[in-house]
Amino acid sequence: MNFACDTPEGNADDETAAQDAIRAQVIEQTKCVVVKVGTRVLTTNEGKLDLARVDLLAAQLARIADTGRQVIMVSSGAVGAGVAKLGLPTRPVGIARLQAVAAIGQADLIKAYENSLLRHGYQAAQVLLTKSDLRRRSGYLHVRNAINGIHEFGAIAVVNENDSVAVAELKTTFGDNDRLAAHVAGLFNDALLILLTDVHGLYDGHPDSDGSKKIELVRNLDGNVMSMAEDKSSAVSKGGMEGKLRASRLANSHGHPTIIGPGRQDDVLDQIFAGGRVGTLFIPPKRTLRGRRRWIGSAAVVQGSLHLDDGAARAICNQGRSLLAVGIERVEGTFSHGDVVSLIDRNEQEIARGLVNYRSHEISLIAGRSNTEIESILGHRPYENVIHRNNLVLRILAEEPAE
C-alpha cells in the first residue's frame, strides 16, 4: 500500500485531518485483514476462555467479511480453553503441561469461533502453524494457498501456533502470536494487521502514568519509537508492547499498515473500519519487501554466513550490487545451492540475507577470487555471482537482527 504520509505545515487541526485521511486511505485500500487477539483479551480473570468476547469479535469479523475482504483471525486462548475444560484452578507451568493443555483446549477454542461465526453465516477453518512451515519457499506458498482456499470457500481462517509440537529449543516457534500474525499478514498483498491488546495503543509514557498520551500515528517505527515500549522506571514491559512493535515493524517492512488497539473495546473492529481514531496506526515506509524477497527477509531459515570485505559490503549496501566471490573473506556453516545465508561485514554485523548460487564448500574454494578464476578452480562457472541482487535483502528492510 502507498500512503500520502507528508502532512502539510499548519495547526493541530490540520494534523488531525491528515491523520484521519490516512486512516480512511488505509481502510479503502485494505483487501485482507489479519486480526490478532491475545490471551489477556480472550480470557477471564480466572484464566478461562471468555466466550462473550469471542462472540463480539466473531460478529465484527463477519461484518468485515461481508464487505468482500479476506478475513483471518490469529487467536490465542487455547490454554485458557483447556484450563476451563479440565477444571484446573490455575494455568499450569512447564512446557509439557502447557502443550498438553493447549492441545486439549484447541478443540474448544475453534468450536467457540465456529459457533459464533455460524450465527453470522460463516464457517471457521482451523489453521495450526509452526515456524518450520514457512522456512521453505514451497511451504510458505502452500500455507498461503491453503488460506486463500479457505477464503474462496466463504470461511474465515482461525490461525494459531501449533503449541502441542512447537518447541523453542528447536526454533520451531514464532516466539509469540504477534509475530505469527505479522508472518501471516506477510503472505498476502494489501493486508492490514490489527493487534488487539489490553491497552489502547502506544503511549509516549507508561499508559498508567498521569500525562501520558496515546500516539495516534507513527510514520517511522525507528529506535526512538521502540524505546517507548519499556518503562524505564520499573523495566516492566507495557503489556507486551515491545513484541507488538516488532511485529508492526515486520508487517510494515512488507508494506502493510498495522493498528495496535484496545481488544476490550466491544466495537473495536467496527470503529476501525468506520475510520475511527482507534489505537495507534503504523504506516509502512516507501521501500518494502515483495514476493520471494519477503520470504528471504523474514521467514526463511538461515543456513550459514558469508563474511565480506569492506568493498563488498559497500557495494551491497550503497550501490545495489550483487555479491561476487572476490568480496568474500570467509565461509561459515554447511549449506547447499538455493539456501539462505547471512552476509556479515568486518564489524560482525549482519547487513543482508540472500539465496546462494553455490554450495558452501565451493564458495570456500573461490572466496577472494575473481570471476575469471572460478571455472579453473571448480571446473564450471554456472553463475557470475554468488548471490544475485534480486535474491538479496538488506537487513534494514527485514524483521530484526539475526538470532
- Rounded to whole angstroms, the Cα distance separating 294 from 137 reads 10
Beta partners for 328?
308
- Rounded to whole angstroms, the Cα distance separating 92 from 387 reads 48
Are residues 193 and 181 in contact, defined by beta-carbon separation less than 8 angstroms?
Answer: yes
What distances in angstroms separate CA 239 from CA 129, 217, 224, one per listed residue? 24, 19, 18
Please check if 253 is assigned to a binding site: no
Are residues 374 and 362 in contact, defined by beta-carbon separation less than 8 angstroms?
Answer: no
Please check if 234 is assigned to a binding site: no
Collapse the DSSP code of 59 into the 3-class scheme (helix H, G, I; strand E, B; otherwise coil) and give the result.
helix
**How far is C-alpha 212 from the chain's CA centre?**
27
Please check if 197 is assigned to a binding site: yes
Please check if 178 is assigned to a binding site: no
- Rounded to whole angstroms, the Cα distance separating 104 from 111 reads 12
For residue 43, the 8-state DSSP code is B
- Rounded to whole angstroms, the Cα distance separating 261 from 293 reads 29
Question: Which residues participate in the annotated binding site?
Answer: 36, 76, 163, 177, 197-198
Binding site residues for ATP, as ranges? 36, 197-198
Annotated binding site for substrate: 76, 163, 177
